[in-house]
Amino acid sequence: MTHSRAELLRLLEDEGLGPSRALGQNFVVDANTVRRIARIADLAPGAPVVEIGAGLGSLTLALVETGAEVTAVEIDRHLLPVLRRIVEPHGVRVVAGDALELDWSSVLAGHDRWDLVANLPYNVATPLVLDLLDDVPAIGRMLVMVQREAGERLAASVGDPAYGIPSVKVAYWATAQVVGRVPATVFVPRPKVESALVRITRRPAPATDADPERLFALVRAGFGQRRKMLRRSLAGLVTPEAFAAAGVRPEARAEELGVEDWGRLASA
């Protein structure tokens, strides 16, 4: 059901459309890739799934093939009429809007738990994932295709070169892992980087019961001077007594602390 490369390229030409650089659009033009993503998403028939950045519906149609109940979000007003024409006959609900500004409680009304599956624009992928984790608890699982470096940051653990603030934020709310690579050759236009598929599964409760505002203030301060020892990067925020109470070495650096360590430090 989903588009082949030739069909999608012909559709773009016939409609006088092209990817928007401003919106960070890269269309997937390989049917095997979108079906692979839908398969990895592991959706049950009838399960509610929301897609962000539906474009011309290639991944949307692959999600429909799984039997899931699909809601497709798209910001590009030029693409919307074509997207509606392609996917609405298959029972897809199309929502026009910016995913960073949507009233998600309204969009996701009707179901308590949702999956998100999306090919996210590179320029908004990380802040969007983090905002959804912070503010949209109805989304229990995500499978997102993002720039490889961004995906590695989202899924990184202590000791990984990519470990940083986004890694701690994801770990606070969820578990995450890179579950696949996607070559640049399956996109139009072809990006200069490889993409990664990241699976994110929300925890039943945050990884620590520390105050999140305090916790992430420390995380930002620590990683803001990540080459310094914590006793220097967190000077004025954490006392020697608090380091001792938390069981955290003041000589450590930010990348050596997992989310539970940051939680103990924030609580201390």
| 142 neighbors 151 (Cβ within 8 angstroms) | no
Q: Give the SS3 label for residue 79.
A: coil
Q: Note the CATH number of domain 212-267.
A: 1.10.8.100
The single residue listed with the structure tokens 């916790």 is: 215
Instruction: Quote the CA–CA distance of 265 and 254 in Å, as a whole number.
Output: 12
Q: The dihedral of CA 6, 11, 12, 14: what is its sign?
A: positive
22 exposed, middle or buried (CB, 10 Å; 0-12, 13-18, 19+)? exposed
pLDDT digits (tens, 9 = 90+) for 143-195: 999 999 999 999 999 989 999 999 999 999 999 999 999 999 999 878 888 99
pLDDT digits (tens, 9 = 90+) for 212-236: 999 999 999 999 998 999 999 999 9
Residues 145, 149, 154, 155, CA torsion sign = positive
**CA separation, residue 156 to residues 60, 87, 149, 162, 172 (Å):** 28, 36, 10, 6, 12
Question: Burial, 92: exposed, middle or buried (Cβ in 10 Å; 0-12, 13-18, 19+)?
Answer: buried
Q: Which of 143, 130, 215 is nearest to 173 (CA)?
A: 130
Size of the chain in residues: 268
pLDDT in tens, 32-89: 999 999 999 999 999 999 999 999 999 999 999 999 999 999 999 999 999 999 999 9
CATH class of domain segment(s) 5-202? alpha beta
Q: Which percentage of the chain shows pLDDT scores above 70?
A: 100
Q: List the chain domain ranges.
A: 5-202, 212-267
Consecutive H or E run containing 50: strand 48-52
What is the rounded distance in angstroms from the CA atom of residue 171 to the CA atom of residue 154? 9
> Looking at residue 226, what is its pLDDT?
87
Of 206, 226, 245, the C-alpha closest to 162 is 226
Average pLDDT over residues 117-138: 95
DSSP secondary-structure letter at 11?
H
Q: Are strands 187-188 and 195-202 parallel, antiparallel or unpaired?
A: unpaired
Please answer whether residues 151 and 178 qualify as being in contact, where contact means their C-beta atoms are separated by less than 8 angstroms: yes
What is the distance between the alpha carbons of residues 182 and 57, in angstroms, rounded to a whole number?
Answer: 18
Q: Say what the pLDDT of residue 192 is.
A: 86
Number of H helices, E strands in the chain: 12, 9
Of residues 94, 69, 70, the one with CA closest to residue 81: 94
Q: Is the pLDDT of residue 21 over 80?
A: no
Question: In the chain, pLDDT over 90 holds for what percent of residues?
Answer: 84
Distance in angstroms (rounded) separating the CA atoms of residues 217 and 250: 17
Pairwise pLDDT comparison (74 vs 21), residue with the higher score: 74
pLDDT band at 134 (very low <50, low <70, confident <90, very high): very high
CA angle 163, 168, 172 (to 5 degrees): 150
139, pLDDT greater than 80: yes
Number of Cβ within a 10 Å radius of residue 96: 15
Is the CB of residue 83 less than 8 Å from the CB of residue 107? no
